[in-house]
Amino acid sequence: MASLYLHIPFCEHKCIYCDFYSIENMSSMDHFLSALKLEIVRRAEMFSSQETIETIFFGGGTPSLLSAQQFEKIFSLIHKHFRIQTDAEITCESNPGTVELNKLNEFHTVGFNRISFGIQSFHEDDLKFLTRIHSAEEAERAVESAYHAGFDNVSCDLIFALPNQTPSRWKENLRRAIALQPKHISAYALIVEDQTPLATMVKNKLVTPMPDEEDAELYEMTIDTLRSNGYEQYEVSNFAKPGFYSRHNFNYWNHANYIGLGPSAHSFWKDSPTTGKRWWNVRSIQSYCEMLDRGDYPVVGGEEIDSDKFFNEEIFLGLRSKGIDLKKLYPLYGEDVFSMRQAMFLEMEQEGLLFRQNNIISLTSKGYAVCDEVAAKLIF
């Protein structure tokens, strides 16, 4: 099984913390959609006969800026050129300020069965700081409208570790999110990415990032609060009600094949059980359109994934999600890939960072907070 990711690079306003490729000028929308359709057809010529597509994810940017009619044309092309699983998970990322009940009804009708709202906060001053275009009231109304439109699978994104954010304010965000009863919640710490307005603000000492210790406290609160309210943690930042893990996210963490379409989109495809290749598209809508118009693939970079790198990624991705499956790795890499690290394992178990149950090595809540450091000790 494989996944499709389609990057829609338009936003009404680009948030200060965002380093994903997006533009605020909509004048190139029609040209972009024509180019995207060309890429769909050309990629299908390479991959459509190899695997069935089980998830489709529209990210951005703000995909919900597109109309249902525009999505309908894209879906028609996808279904014509790819084999799509009957119960495929089909997700649209959405800014709460860009949708209302009628539009959500139309989205559900054209084929979306999952919607992910970028809420980020229920505090108006936080939303203003993050330069979000919606209000807390609009966020709550959008989620309720999604239910009325027939969406059962609704996800909400939240951001914690904002400058000067107190535990009580973050807990209030969690409480209000849980009250909306979404099936999935993603909770991310605010990261200062290079070449963003937020990075400039930090450099100019206009903003002071939250200290690591306080960040870790809020993360631990997130895990405890969501787990106590029936959400299972299946990845470092992702929590879901039973049966509602994001299959698209899960495919990423399990080294499943995925095809990225649109400017800046990344792709991964396995050549064998332990090798593959990764490539990525140009990060410019103008160049993206021009390359497709002249018959080229809009690819600007790539890498071969040899067996050693594949193994390291299995460790890193496994730890980020539900754990390292030793039964999966043994046939590929040897009888016991961790025999040389038994002492390190015991040490990290004693520190409460990970545990082994049957053939799965998983992180604890404490371990999730230092996932990268744990992974670095285990990769070769």
- List pLDDT tens digits, range 117-154: 999 999 999 999 999 999 999 999 999 999 999 999 99
Cα angle 252, 256, 261; round to 5 = 70
Question: Angle of helix 167-179 relative to helix 212-228, nearest 10 degrees?
Answer: 30
Instruction: Match 């279904």 to its residue by tokens.
Output: 79
Q: How far is CA 235 from the centre of its chain?
A: 11
Say what the pLDDT of residue 328 is. Answer: 80
Say what the pLDDT of residue 338 is. Answer: 66
Question: Angle of helix 101-110 relative to helix 136-148, nearest 10 degrees?
Answer: 40
Rounded CA gap, 251 and 358, in Å? 23
Instruction: Match 């940017």 to its residue by tokens.
Output: 61
361 band by pLDDT with thresholds 50, 70 and 90? confident
Residue pair 31/288 in contact by the 8 Å Cβ criterion: no
Question: Angle of helix 101-110 relative to helix 68-81, nearest 10 degrees?
Answer: 10
Q: How confident is the model over 188-215, as pLDDT tens digits?
A: 999 999 999 999 999 999 999 999 999 9
Say what the pLDDT of residue 380 is. Answer: 64
Q: How confident is the model over 67-94, as pLDDT tens digits?
A: 999 999 999 999 999 999 999 999 999 9
273 band by pLDDT with thresholds 50, 70 and 90? confident
345 band by pLDDT with thresholds 50, 70 and 90? confident
Instruction: Give yes or no for residue 297 having a pLDDT over 90.
Output: yes
Rounded CA gap, 154 and 146, in Å? 7
- 261 Cβ contact list (under 8 Å, min separation 6): 4, 5, 6, 7, 36, 39, 40, 43, 281
Give the closest residue to 187 by CA, choosing from 257, 234, 250: 234
- Note the helical H segments in the chain: 29-47, 68-81, 101-110, 124-130, 136-148, 167-179, 197-203, 212-228, 247-253, 285-293, 307-320, 326-333, 342-350, 365-368, 371-378
Residue pair 40/48 in contact by the 8 Å Cβ criterion: no
Say what the pLDDT of residue 53 is. Answer: 97
At 128, list the tokens.
């203003």
Cα angle 218, 224, 228; round to 5 = 145
Strand partners, 56: 4, 90
* Neighbouring C-alpha atoms within 13 Å toward the C-beta of 92: 28
Instruction: Give yes or no for residue 55 having a pLDDT over 70.
Output: yes
Q: How confident is the model over 243-269, as pLDDT tens digits?
A: 999 999 999 988 899 999 999 999 999
What are the extents of the domains in the chain?
A: 2-251, 318-380
- 336 Cβ contact list (under 8 Å, min separation 6): 326, 330
Length of the chain counted residue by residue: 380
Please provide the CATH number assigned to the domain covering 2-251.
Answer: 3.20.20.70
Say what the pLDDT of residue 315 is. Answer: 86
| Segment 275-294 mean pLDDT | 97
Question: Phi/psi of residue 154, each to 5°?
Answer: -115, 135
At 115, list the tokens.
């919607």
| Segment 372-378 mean pLDDT | 85
Q: How far is CA 364 from the centre of its chain?
A: 22
